[in-house]
Amino acid sequence: MYERYHVPKNEMPPMGEPFSKSSVIRDARCMNCGRCKDACIFSVHERSAADPRVMADPKSYLCKNCLRCVEDCPQRALSVELSRSYLELGGGLWTPQRVVTIWNEAWTGKVPVFGAGYRGKFSGTGYDSMWTDMSEIVRPTRDGIHGREFISTSVDLGKRVDYLEFDASGRLITKMPSFVEIPIPMILDLTRLDLTAQAKTGLMQAAKALGTMFIAPAEGYLPNGRNGSMVPLFSAGNTASRYDLSNPKMVEMEYSPDWASDLKALKERFGGIPVAVRIQAKSGIERLAVELASSEADVIHILYDEQSQESDGRLAKDSLMAVNRALANVSLRERVSIIAGGGLAAAEHVPKSLLCGADAVTMERALKVALGCHACAVCDKDRCTVDQNGITSDWSKWRAVNLVGAWRDQLLEIMGAMGVREVRRLRGEIGRAIFYEEIEKDAFANIKGGV
């Protein structure tokens, strides 16, 4: 029987004191009138349990920065400021806001609320310079997205044939390529994550719970974490590595100059399932993609760094569009699926990656952040304040499930607003996106002294 895909969520508060993005400060002018209690819908302000006559210290970590309490305070006793520790979070693409948002998503599994409105800038680099076309934003209702209206987030990974051939008797004679369907365009990639065994085990369980897959090296993993959701990754030249799970849905191999022989070996070893080729993005990636698409490879997994860049600086947004266009130009786009990984720091990066040409994305650092990582600009183990030792597999699992669930809900919101009911339809659909460079040109190119 058909069952609608649904991500079960389970509130999983952070270990230790929750992080406070804002410091809500109650100064001596407070007269304990309780108006802030009524003003705050996030329960930042409550009366003290020990003595209801006085207000308890504000629970800053619940604050969404809406400043309603500040507005309503008759004594002007409240102020809200961004905490220092907040401003010190992350680095580059991983802004403090994105880090904290991931934490909150991993905690509650809910769509984030930013509260104080959007106050610009209205453009930035990379994905920040593009918007999805939300012309249908008035149409879907919440009930529509999550209820009556069916929006599919399933994607297929693998080859597609250009056409079908039938014999005279009407029997299909085209040899159907192998592909794998996952209910969400998000795969967990644990390969590059430096995490404890417990934490990784949890992420593996999360992938299973979500019905998606996780990528991990074929060797060296704890057996108890392995399950049918695993995509084993074979390093170059090691296609014969021992791998005791008999039925992976997909396998992945590292790209190397000898990629063709590795690919052949894996095809032989795991006949009938898609093989992905994992490749570091650098200049000329589009030519490589065309080469791979012309081969037996089913999936190209392009890795960007965590700043969403190729190794020599081109942005993933531009890189993916270039790959997509290059493949389309030679009519090979349907021959291969593209997974993009690296630099996905917010839910919006999923649909934006798809719009630029990916079929699916891998989540990496976002998972680590969900487990408490601060995404510092430079990861320095000596200065790291995150204690991974307390992480249990269960906690890790639910944090990841919550995060992915929240991202999928946001994907649904965006698709609903775009009027798109199939996530497959988003792929490469740059016509449904708006690019800052283009509209800037539209607006100013004809003006003397303009762009």
Partner 1 sequence: MNASSDPLNQSASASPVKPSINSPSVPQVALDPWKTQFGTEALFPLANEGKGGELARAIEDLKIPDLRVISAEGWRALYSRDQADVPDLLRNVLFRSMPGVVVQPFSVDAVSKVLLFATSRRLPIVVRGAGSSSFGGSMPVKGGIVMDMNAMDRVLDFDATKGMVKVQAGMRWSDLDWFLEKYGLMAQSSPSSRFSTVGGWVATGGIGIGSVSGGHLSRWVSELEVITSDGQVRVLRPSDKPFKSLFGSEGRLAVIVSVTLIARPKPKAPFPALVFFDDQAKALRYASFLAQAKTPPLDLTYYSPGKFEAFNRILGRSHFPAKHGVMWCYENKDAVPSCTAVPSGARRADTYLASLIWNERFFPMKFRKLGPGLMGSEVMVPKEHLPEVVSQADKVSRQHGLSPLMEVHFMPGGDGLLLTYYTTDQAKLMRYTMDSFRGLLISSALMEVGAKPYSLGVWNNMFSDQAKEGDLADAKAELDPADIMNRGKYPRLKGRLGGLPAAMFSPGVMGSALRLVNRAGPISAPAIKMISSAKAFDRVGDDMLLRTADECSMCGACVGVCPAYLLTKDERVTARGKLLAARQFTLGDDISKEHAHRIFLCMRCKACEQVCQSKLHLIDAYDEMEKRLEKKHGKDEEEIKRFVTLAEQSPAYDALVERGLVLGASAKAVQGGK
Return the residue of 8, 11, 13, 54 that touches partner 1, per CB under 8 A.
54
Q: How far apart are CA 308 and CA 205, in angstroms?
A: 27
Nearer to partner 1 by C-beta: 48 or 331?
48
Nearer to partner 1 by C-beta: 31 or 173?
31
Residue 79 found at the interface with partner 1 (CB under 8 A): no
Q: What angle do CA 285, 287, 293 make, to 5 degrees?
A: 100
Return the residue of 23, 75, 85, 392 that touches partner 1, per CB under 8 A.
75
> Using CB under 8 A, which residues numbered 9 to 28 contact partner 1?
28
Residue 426 in tokens: 């988003």
Q: Say how many CA atoms lie within 13 Å of 249 toward its Cβ.
A: 19
Count of Cβ atoms closer than 10 Å to residue 288 Cβ: 19
User: Of 30-38, 86-94, 200-208, 313-321, which part binds partner 1 (CB under 8 A)?
Assistant: 30-38
Number of residues that bind partner 1 (CB under 8 A): 17
Instruction: For residue 192, give the nearest of 389, 6, 441, 364 by alpha carbon.
Output: 364
Residue 52 found at the interface with partner 1 (CB under 8 A): yes
Nearer to partner 1 by C-beta: 77 or 218?
77
Residue 377 found at the interface with partner 1 (CB under 8 A): no
Pairing type for strands 230-234 and 214-217 reads parallel
Return the residue of 6, 13, 16, 31 that touches partner 1, per CB under 8 A.
31
Residue 49 found at the interface with partner 1 (CB under 8 A): no
Q: How far apart are CA 451 and CA 446, in angstroms?
A: 8
Looking at this protein, which amino acid is placed at residue 297? A
Count of Cβ atoms closer than 10 Å to residue 107 Cβ: 21
Task: For residue 190, give the H/E element and its range.
Answer: none
Residue 33 found at the interface with partner 1 (CB under 8 A): yes
Nearer to partner 1 by C-beta: 66 or 206?
66
Q: How far apart are CA 219 and CA 18, in angstroms?
A: 36
Residue 238 found at the interface with partner 1 (CB under 8 A): no
Residue 314 found at the interface with partner 1 (CB under 8 A): no
Return the residue of 14, 15, 18, 34 that touches partner 1, per CB under 8 A.
34
Return the residue of 10, 14, 18, 32 that touches partner 1, per CB under 8 A.
32
Residue 81: CB minimum distance to partner 1, A = 16
Instruction: For residue 363, give the nearest of 323, 330, 393, 408 by alpha carbon.
Output: 408
Q: How far apart are CA 217 and CA 220, in angstroms?
A: 7
Q: How far apart are CA 375 and CA 316, in angstroms?
A: 19
Residue 40: CB minimum distance to partner 1, A = 14
User: Of 29-37, 234-242, 386-394, 440-448, which part binds partner 1 (CB under 8 A)?
Assistant: 29-37
Residue 49: CB minimum distance to partner 1, A = 11
User: Of 14-22, 68-76, 124-132, 253-261, which part binds partner 1 (CB under 8 A)?
Assistant: 68-76
Alpha helices in 211-269 (DSSP H): 259-269
Nearer to partner 1 by C-beta: 28 or 164?
28
Residue 76 found at the interface with partner 1 (CB under 8 A): yes
Count of Cβ atoms closer than 10 Å to residue 25 Cβ: 14
- Contact predicate 142/438, CB 8 Å: no
Q: C-alpha distances in angstroms, 280 versus 304, 313, 401? A: 7, 12, 27
Residue 330 found at the interface with partner 1 (CB under 8 A): no
Q: 56-70: buried (b, 16+ CB within 10 Å) or exposed (e) per residue?
A: bebbbbbbbbbbbbb
Residue 67 found at the interface with partner 1 (CB under 8 A): no
Nearer to partner 1 by C-beta: 35 or 282?
35
Per CB under 8 A, residues contacting partner 1 are: 28-29, 31-35, 37-38, 47, 51-54, 74-76
